[in-house]
């Protein structure tokens, strides 16, 4: 759900204002009789107060007008509803009227049993901006009943503590946040790094923040990366200097010429991935969903009896690369190109590809069978899990060729660490066809040789970050880096 900038309210209930003419709220405080007159002239007198208050909130009006409205309602009805007070509170917090916030807090806690999540969030935000920030922590504790507080709440509380110089408290809140299993906002980190610049002695904790970002493959955004750069450069006696740059496809940083971490997995990571993919993706909860046990066993023996493959091709995916040529032609062209490069090829497909038709020509299929090993699954089985199995069991050097992003198979994996491993393996081993025109040569996209993740070599740090204007999908990685080097 998109967050509305500046306002902390959660989703408000729909007010039925269809068909009624909306009266714009006044631009100066009115007296009680003036409000009464305005109410009479409105078409829906029941919703008048809420309508007015929502209008004031939307236009970010003067708080005195709202106060006059509340005075009128008290006069009219004798008391104020929770909802009205909540909207008034939103106006005060967004406008920064601290005394009003204090008064409203007193009133709401005395008149109502407890606070709801929206009001609590607003109070945490409001109190953190003032000298009564410790009460925000009390409210935060009170929120931990049916629902956990959100990372935004913790972000506001940490900002409040840091603003008033209590670094210990802010770190304690951060640790609590991690313990509850929530993911911190970028604002939280920005606040912590900012406090690191003003107060020394927090290097260890901030380095642990960086390693958290590495372990969870989180990329900082532009404001945060600038603060990180400033922090590094503020460290005394260490003489860090940072520069924004790119990385060459070979894995060399353009700025300092150091090579980055390779994208290949280690032996243990590879074995773990192989095991998890077999258990969760191919077999899953029910092996019959994607294939049958007999087919799986016959495929396993097929792979065992062949020499290890250099490349595994998703036949159906590759065949559909271009609408200009028939499927078997495209597949034959790709297989021929790879055979010329001297690779041991496995082509995976389904049994219907062997039936002669306009798309699957017998001659082409026979030629393909001569150039490569082929395995055809039943038409109702899924061929992707077989692709992953063959590629993983052929060794670290084996690549696979498909345009499929494999997101549905990645989602079958149990935890995020395995998913990140899978994504890393995929980036390092998935070949994609970049150009093919019938009759011409087949061109493949280059696989990156380096891993896009926060990394350090002791005397240098390389941090990839997201640009402000960039729209990055979850299956893509950022291209811009911050290169931090120490001068000796």
Partner 1 sequence: MFLRSCSLALRCRRFTNPQVTIRAFGSSRTARKDASENALDLDAWKSVMRSQALQEDSKIPSRSALDDNRELVEMWHQAGKFVPKNITDEQLEDLAQLTTRSAKKKYLKFLAIKESHKITKKEKQEKKKSEREAGEREQEELRNTFLLKFWSSSLDRVQSWRAAQAMRFGQPLVYDMSYEQHMSRRELENTVAQLMESEGCNRRASDPFHLHFCNLQPNGAYHRELLKRYGSHTWERLLITATERTHLEVFPQRDLVYLTADSKSVLHTFDHSKVYVIGAMVDRSIHSGASLANAKRLQLATARLPLDEYLDWECGAKNLTLDQMMRILMTVKDTGSWKKALEFVPKRKHAGFQQHSSGFTGAAKSRFVRNDSSESRFVRNDSPESRFVRNDSPESRFVRNDSSESRFVRNDLSESRFSARAQNQLKNKTDGRKKQPERAQCREDGH
Chain residues in the site for partner 1 (CB under 8 A): 10-14, 29, 31-33, 50, 64, 67-68, 70-71, 73-75, 78-83, 86, 103, 106-107, 110-119, 145-147, 150, 286, 288-290, 292, 305-306, 351-352, 354-356, 362, 366, 369-370, 379-380
Closest CA to 87 of 111, 112, 63: 63
CA 451 to chain centre: 18
Q: How far is the CB of 458 from partner 1 (least distance, A)?
A: 41
Q: How far is the CB of 73 from partner 1 (least distance, A)?
A: 7
Contact 128, 138 (CB under 8 A): no
Q: How far apart are CA 435 and CA 271, in angstroms?
A: 34
For the record, the structure tokens of 18 come out as 């269809």
Nearer to partner 1, 143 or 454 (CB): 143
The DSSP code sequence of 218-259 is ---BHHHHHHHHHHHHHSTTT-EEEEEE-B-TTSBBTTT-PB
Show the tokens assigned to 167. Answer: 């670094």
Nearer Cβ to partner 1 (380/411)? 380
Question: Least distance to partner 1 from the beta carbon of 91, Å?
Answer: 14
Report the residue number, 145 or 469, with the smaller CB distance to partner 1. 145
Angle at 152 between CA 128 and CA 465, to 5 degrees: 115
Q: Which is nearer to partner 1, 168 or 294 (CB)?
A: 294
379 vs 468, which CB is nearer to partner 1? 379
Q: How far is the CB of 42 from partner 1 (least distance, A)?
A: 19
Q: What are residue 377's DSSP bridge partners? A: 350
Cβ-contact 265, 451 below 8 angstroms: no
d(CA 57, CA 54): 5
Six-digit token string for 182: 């929530």
Kindly tell me which of 67 and 480 has the beta carbon lying closer to partner 1. 67
Nearest distance from residue 377's CB to partner 1, in Å? 13
Residue 362 Cβ, how far from partner 1 at the closest point, in Å? 8
Rounded to an integer, what distance in angstroms lies between the CA atom of residue 376 and that of residue 370?
Answer: 15
């Amino acid at each position: 759900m998109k967050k509305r900038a500046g306002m902390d309210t959660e989703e408000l209930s729909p007010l039925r204002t269809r068909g009624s003419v909306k009266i714009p709220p006044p631009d100066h405080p009115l007296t009680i009789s003036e409000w009464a007159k305005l109410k009479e002239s409105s078409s829906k007198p029941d919703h008048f107060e809420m309508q007015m208050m929502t209008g004031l909130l939307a236009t970010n009006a003067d708080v005195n007008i709202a106060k006059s409205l509340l005075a009128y309602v008290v006069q009219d009805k004798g008391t104020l509803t929770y909802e009205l007070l909540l909207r008034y509170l939103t106006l005060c917090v967004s406008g920064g009227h601290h005394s009003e916030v204090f008064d409203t807090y007193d009133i709401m806690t005395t008149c109502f049993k407890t606070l709801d999540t929206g009001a609590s969030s607003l109070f945490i935000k409001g109190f953190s901006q003032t000298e009564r920030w410790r009460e925000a922590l009390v409210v935060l504790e009170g929120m931990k009943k049916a629902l956990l507080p959100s990372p935004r709440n913790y972000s506001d509380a940490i900002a409040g503590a840091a603003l008033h110089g209590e670094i210990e408290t802010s770190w304690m809140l951060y640790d609590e946040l991690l313990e509850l299993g929530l993911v911190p906002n970028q604002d939280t980190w920005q606040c912590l790094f900012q406090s690191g610049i003003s107060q020394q002695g927090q290097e260890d904790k901030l380095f642990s923040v960086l390693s958290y970002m590495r372990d969870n493959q989180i990329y900082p955004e532009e404001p945060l990366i600038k603060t990180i750069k400033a922090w590094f450069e503020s460290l005394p006696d260490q003489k860090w200097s940072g520069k924004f740059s790119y990385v060459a496809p070979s894995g060399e940083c353009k700025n300092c010429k150091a090579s980055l971490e390779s994208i290949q997995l280690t032996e243990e990571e590879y074995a773990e991935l192989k095991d998890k993919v077999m258990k969760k993706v191919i077999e899953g909860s029910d092996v019959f969903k994607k294939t049958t046990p007999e087919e799986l066993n016959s495929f396993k023996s097929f792979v065992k009896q062949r020499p290890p493959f250099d490349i595994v091709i998703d036949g159906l995916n590759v065949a559909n690369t271009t609408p200009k040529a028939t499927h078997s032609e495209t597949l034959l062209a790709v297989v021929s190109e790879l055979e010329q490069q001297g690779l041991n090829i496995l082509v995976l497909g389904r049994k219907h590809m062997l039936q002669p038709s306009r798309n699957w020509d017998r001659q082409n299929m026979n030629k393909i069978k001569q150039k490569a090993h082929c395995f055809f699954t039943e038409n109702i089985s899924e061929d992707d899990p077989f692709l992953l199995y063959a590629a993983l069991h052929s060794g670290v050097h084996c690549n696979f060729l498909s345009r499929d992003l494999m997101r549905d198979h990645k989602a079958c994996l149990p935890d995020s660490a395995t998913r990140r491993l899978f994504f890393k393996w995929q980036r390092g081993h998935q070949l994609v066809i970049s150009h093919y025109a019938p009759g011409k040569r087949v061109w493949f996209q280059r696989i990156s040789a380096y891993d896009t993740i926060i990394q350090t070599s002791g005397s240098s740090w390389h941090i990839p970050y997201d640009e402000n204007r960039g729209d990055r999908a979850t299956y893509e990685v950022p291209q811009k880096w911050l290169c931090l080097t120490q001068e000796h």
